[in-house]
């Protein structure tokens, strides 16, 4: 149940920031704090808002929120366990 609440908090915080039109690097940190530092929560929030935009294409508030969440995800690092740079040093393992 906390995951749903966290995702709802992320969506609410992103909607608030998108409505304010706040610019700057503090947006990513603010949304990440609402997500509890979990990139996956931000991804789930983005997917929910995208579904809302698909259902109602003239919802401009949801569109602004989706745009903000996409920008936040672009700024966050990605942890890829199959990163080729890590495996490149392993001589007999193909990427």
What ranges do the domains of the chain cover? 2-84
Q: Binning pLDDT at 50, 70 and 90, where does residue 1 land? A: very low
Instruction: Tell me the pLDDT of the chain averaged across its residues.
Output: 80
With 0.85 as the threshold, say if the pTM is over it. no
Query: Is the pLDDT at 53 greater than 90, yes or no?
Result: yes
Average pLDDT over every residue of 30-37: 82
Measure the CA dihedral 19/23/28/32, to 10°: -40
Query: Do 40 and 24 touch, CB atoms closer than 8 A?
Result: no
Query: Is the pLDDT at 18 greater than 90, yes or no?
Result: no
């Amino acid at each position: 149940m906390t995951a749903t609440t966290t995702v709802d908090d992320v969506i609410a915080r992103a909607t608030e920031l998108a409505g304010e039109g706040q610019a700057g690097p503090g947006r990513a940190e603010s949304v990440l704090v609402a997500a509890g530092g979990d990139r996956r929560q931000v991804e789930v929030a983005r997917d929910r808002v995208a579904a809302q935009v698909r259902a109602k294409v003239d919802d401009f508030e949801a569109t602004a929120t989706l745009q903000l969440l996409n920008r936040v995800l672009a700024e966050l690092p990605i942890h890829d366990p199959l990163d080729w740079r890590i495996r490149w040093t392993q001589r007999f393992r193909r990427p």
